[in-house]
Every structure is written in structure tokens, then in C-alpha cells.
Amino acid sequence: MDNVCEVKDLKFKYDEKWVLDRVSFEVREGEIFGIIGPNGSGKTTLLKLLSRVLIPDQGEIRIKGKNILEMGQREIAQTIGVVPQDTYFPFPFTVSEVVLMGRAPWLSGFGFESSEDLQIASHAMALTNTFSFSDRLIFELSGGEKQRAIIARALAQEPQVLLLDEPTAYLDIGHQIEIYDLMKKLNAERGITLVIVSHDLNLASEYSDRLILLDNGKIHKTGTPGEVITEENLSKVYQSKVLVEENPITGAPRVTLLSKLMSKEYEEKGLTTHIISGGGSGVDLMRKLIIEGYRVTSGVLNIGDGDETVCDSLGIEVVREEPFSPISDESLFRNRSLIKKADLVIVERAKFGKGNIRNLEILLEFPKKRIILLENDNFDYAGGRATSIYKQLKSRGALVARNHSEVIEYLEEEFKIEKKGINSSLHRERKG
């Protein structure tokens, strides 16, 4: 099977941060190719690059063997159709007029639709069940009705490749299945290659031939749904605990979300966790711990830091330092006080340099303190000092967690033990 799309070493950034970093994959002609990943992992940006709405900073995209940068806009539009997440219409077009816009790449120089164009547009509306409101204005529609009209416009374009960004985001479950079944029908009968971005892992699993799982702008895993949608992959990328089992009817992987609060009443915990973070690395964990009922403190953070700005909203006591300033003796003293009071210290995936290395150094003063280190491959900007401290902490018994769900599990065990009034299992493990 030939490749209809080839992406090689693709890199793109909006400001200084790479949104996509050395992404490489191929889409085979006639397949349904799914793109999944957390918010901010680069999924929508990737689709915009594939449709040449954005231009890559590095790398190459080839469509049917041609470099996309060498293709004319008309040729691209005749080859690739796009269903974006949101579409803005500045004028009050009717649904039928919107669908007919899909014929634009095929019109002659005079720009008038032929009877064939009208027939193709009508067929697209029939397939998407938009005929019943074809005379209504597009901005009068509900979110689901509007989305179906946009899909009809893309089908009227008669593309060889159809890029869909969350095509069922505004639809109820009945229409979700209907749209995916329609995509499957078009793929099977017309040979249209589909590239679908989806947050719904179960729909992506059921309908995709292959998937790529994006994580922070990089491909974490490529393969069949069975190879990509595993508990290990999802736990690592989504930082959440899930259950993956086989759908008894289709055999595809099926994802069930897990939360301890699903099966029991909310309970405020008696444990205090102190988080060492920075640059926004701690926001997600802070939020999760607060929701779970744990007390949280934090420090030292510069005023204006991404983590610092959310502490007040979450009711987190935090040691603040002036913007862009190294940690002072006074801030260090206050941080030491919070660490003493905490039952456990968690070191997030922050970057440590000369300005904040004292956040790590102070932990060496607490040889009996329970510490969890999040796996961190890119953290030492202090000339090796941070790496040395990590090694010392590990040698003293600090635990290493792969993700936030593991941290929550550790704390849950601690809370159970605390309620029973016995020594911590983590503490016993550290002593052993």
C-alpha cells in the first residue's frame, strides 16, 4: 500500500517552545489514521501543518509524493479536505451555501456551480443528515448541527485525504457513532484516507487502523490500537490511572477511566504534601491533590511563575520570591519550616538552575523525610549539582514515580496506614 502522506523530522514552534519536535510518520493510502494525546500535545497544530495552514520550521511533509510547500493552493484543496474544531462565518450563509463552498476548488474561472456541483453538495447533505435545515442560517444551528454542516462541506470537496479535528466534539453519542460510521463507509467505498484527531480514546480505538500517541510534541508510540492503547502508555502520557480491556464485541482495546472517588465518598485527608516545582510543572499535581483532599504547601516560587499564580486560587500556602531572583536566606528559612511540617515532599519535573537549586539542596537536611521524585530526564541546569542531589536522595530511600497516578497511589496507601495509626510503609521501605 502506497503512502499518501509522509512526515519526516517535523518541527514547529509558536514562540520559543517547540510545539512539535522531530515528528515522523506516514499515512497509508486508504487507511483511517488516528492522532491522540493530551491537551497541548500538538494534535491540532499537526493537522494545520498537514493542510499547509502553518509552515513547519524544520522537516518535510509530502502529499502523494510531492513536497506540500511546492503544491499550489488549488491542488492542495482538491486533494485535502479539512474539518476543523471551530469554524467562524462572518456573513449569514445558509447551510446549503456553506456546503457548496466545498466545490470551490473545482469551479471554472467563472465560479458558477454546475448541476453536477449541486448534485454532489446535495449528496453530501443527505449523507450528513443536514438536508432538513439546509435553508437555515449557519449561526442559527446548534453545535452538533453546525459540525455536521462543516463535515458536509468537506465531503462536497471530494478530497482524497480528509483531516478531521475532533469531528464529534459537539455531538451526542448517537450522532457520534453516526458520524464515525459515515467516515468508515466513505473510507471503505470511496477509498478516502482519513486522519482523525480525537480525545475520545474508545472511538479512536474502534475506528482507526493505526494510531500515533503524542506527548508534549513528540510521538510516544505508533502502531495499531492494540499496540498504542495500553495501560502503560496511557498512564505515562495522560498522568492518570486507566483500565484497558478488550471490547467483548469488537475486540478493540476499551478504556475505562478510574478514580478512587468514583467508588467512595469524598474524604479530606490528614496528610500534608509539600511540592517542589516551578515553571508550571506543579499545577496539574497541585490540582489533583487538592481534589483528592490532601493538604498542599509549596515553595520556593518566583512571583509570576506558572505554579505560583495558581496557589492562591487553590488555597495553597507558598513561599514566594521576587521575580527572576535567586532564593534568599529568608525564603529558604520559610521553605524549611514548611518542609518540617509536611508528611511528604514531592519533587516535580521542574528545571533546576543556579536560581532555584536551593530548593533541592535543602532536602538534604532532612534524611528521614519521605520524598517522591517524579521521573525527570531534563532537569539539571546547575552544572551537575541537581543530578548529584537526585542521586543522594535516591540513595537515602527517595521513591521515584513515573506519573501522577503513582503519586496518588502512594499517598492513598499512606493515608490508609495513618488512619490505622501504624508506621508508614514508605517509611519502613526507606529504612530497610
Can you spell out the DSSP letters for 188-224? HHH--EEEEE-S-HHHHHHH-SEEEEEETTEEEEEE-
Q: How many domains does the chain have?
A: 2
115 and 178 both lie in a single domain:
yes
Closest by alpha carbon to 51, among 89, 25, 14, 78? 78
Domain end among 237, 259, 289: 237
Helix, strand, coil fractions of the chain, as percent rounded to 5: 40, 25, 35
Residues 80 and 220 in one domain: yes
pLDDT at position 422 is 45
Grid cell in block for residue 205: 480505538
Domain region containing 119? 3-237
Greatest CA separation for the chain: 83
Cβ(104)–Cβ(77) under 8 Å? yes
pLDDT value of position 270: 81
Domain C-terminal end among 191, 218, 237: 237
Cβ(161)–Cβ(5) below 8 Å: yes
* Angle separating helix axes 283-292 and 306-314, nearest 10 degrees: 20
pTM of the model: 0.76
Regions in the chain scoring below 50 on pLDDT: 422-432
Is 155 exposed, middle or buried, given 0-12, 13-18 or 19+ CB atoms closer than 10 A? buried
DSSP 153-165: HHHHT--SEEEEE
Do 324 and 192 reside in the same domain of the chain?
no
Backbone angles phi, psi at 358, to 5 degrees: -65, -20
- Whether 352 and 231 share a structural domain: no
Q: Is 242 inside any structural domain?
A: no
- On whether residue 63 sits in a domain, the answer given is yes
Residue 275 has a pLDDT of 97
Residues 202 and 288 grouped into a single domain:
no
In a domain, 254, yes or no: no
275 within some domain: yes
My answer on whether 291 and 149 are in the same domain is no
Each residue's pLDDT tens digit, 199-257: 999 999 999 999 999 998 999 999 999 999 999 999 889 888 888 999 999 999 999 88
Q: Are residues 281 and 232 in the same domain?
A: no
Residue 127 host element (H or E): helix 115-127
Residue 255 resides in a domain: no
State the pLDDT at residue 377: 83
Same domain, 192 and 324: no
At residue 90, the pLDDT reads 82
Closest CA to 61 of 24, 32, 109, 99: 24
Q: What is the C-alpha to C-alpha distance for residues 102 and 330, in angstroms, rounded to an integer?
A: 64
Whether 260 maps to a domain, the answer reads: no
Are the C-beta atoms of residues 380 and 372 closer than 8 Å to each other?
A: no
189 and 331: one domain? no
Residue 16: predicted pLDDT: 80
Strand partners, 317: 297
Please indicate, yes or no, whether residues 218 and 313 belong to a single structural domain of this protein.
no
- Asked if the structure places residue 227 within a domain, the reply is yes
Residue-level length of the chain = 432
pLDDT in tens, 98-132: 999 999 998 876 668 888 999 999 999 988 888 88
103 and 10 in a common domain: yes
In a domain, 246, yes or no: no
Residues 283 and 416 in one domain: yes
Q: Are 35 and 212 in contact (CB under 8 A)?
A: yes
The pLDDT value recorded for residue 269 is 83
For cell 487502523, the residue is 209
Q: Report the CATH number that the domain containing residue 337 is assigned in CATH.
A: 3.40.50.720
d(CA 302, CA 322): 6
CATH number at residue 210: 3.40.50.300
Task: Give, as one character, the DSSP assignment of residue 398.
Answer: -
Domain boundary among the residues 190, 218, 237 is at 237
| Residue whose entry in the numeric block shows the C-alpha cell 530497610 | 432
